[in-house]
Structure 1
Amino acid sequence: MADYLLEEKDGFNVLGIGTELKSDYMDFAGINKEKADFWQAVHEDGTIDKLREIAANDYLFVVNEAVNNKMMHYVGVMTKESLPEASRMIQFPKGEYIVVKGKAESEEELSNKLTGIAFGQVLQEANNVAYVGGPNTAVLMGNEDDLKYGEMWIPVIRK
């Protein structure tokens, strides 16, 4: 069984800049390609630097959310400020979250790894809680021993 924690979190907001994922939700290769293209673009065009300049902390959020029947993918930060290019203020509810910790060589690899473990293993094995939708996020927290580290946060309810 994959290691995870259940943690109570206060509600919080993330200012996100995002893209719609157009691949079928079961087309993992297509979704991963769209996410990789998005990550390359936000690094090259300075979006991540702009977000980090207004961030309230060092965390970078990689958010997945269904909005108006569309699969959305965002990069964002906690902030009280705004940017003209921001797509959405994403609201995370107060409550219990599954938390999966991990490390990887790049931010993109870490996000994909945490998402895969959380949705591919933990949610299937955790029979006392359920994910009922809403935004979920990989939280990129920093560097340690030449690796990126962070956590996946998924809001859940008790069964």
Structure 2
Amino acid sequence: MYYVGVESDANVEGDDMRSIDFPAGKYIVVEGTAKTAPELFANLEGAAFFEILPNNTEYMYVGGPNAILKTAESATEVKGQAWIPVVAK
């Protein structure tokens, strides 16, 4: 399931909205670029869960919430980051 969100201190109002808190802690941050946002999201998710986490000896995934965000966008490129919460093994 995917959500579109914004950072806010406002109270959530309405049945079609949900507040998700991201706890303080350690996160693996993966950066990347792609031609489209869907391609960027797939690349970042793939890198985090199929390359970085399986080969990491210090940290393990704790089950979310995860965040994938766009940090810049132009007519030809989208840049972004994946934030994946982890704990020490």
TM-score in same-fold range (> 0.5): yes
Q: State the match for 1:115 in structure 2.
A: 45
Q: State the match for 2:70 in structure 1.
A: 140
In structure 2, the residue corresponding to 1:73 is in which secondary structure? coil
In structure 2, the residue corresponding to 1:127 is in which secondary structure? coil
> Structure 2: where are the runs of 5+ without partners?
none
2: CA distance, partners of 1:134 / 1:113: 18
Q: Does 1:97 pair with 2:27? A: yes
Runs of 4+ in 1 over 6 A off after TM superposition: none
Q: Does 1:158 pair with 2:88? A: yes
1:110-140 deviations in whole A, cap 9, x for unaligned?
A: 1111001100110001110011212111111
1: CA distance, partners of 2:23 / 2:34: 28
TM (normalized to structure 2)? 0.86
Deviation at 1:144, TM superposition (A): 5.2
| Structure with greater helix share of residues | 1
Q: State the match for 1:75 in structure 2.
A: 4
1: CA distance, partners of 2:75 / 2:4: 24
| Structure with greater strand share of residues | 1
1: CA distance, partners of 2:31 / 2:64: 20
In structure 2, the residue corresponding to 1:76 is in which secondary structure? coil
Identity %: 40
| Counterpart residue type for residue 77 of structure 1 | V
| Counterpart residue type for residue 79 of structure 1 | S
1:20-62 deviations in whole A, cap 9, x for unaligned?
A: xxxxxxxxxxxxxxxxxxxxxxxxxxxxxxxxxxxxxxxxxxx
2: CA distance, partners of 1:83 / 1:113: 33
Spell out the pairing of 1:5-154 with structure 2 (5 A cutoff).
Answer: 72-81=1-10, 82=12, 84=14, 85-86=16-17, 88-143=18-73, 146-154=76-84
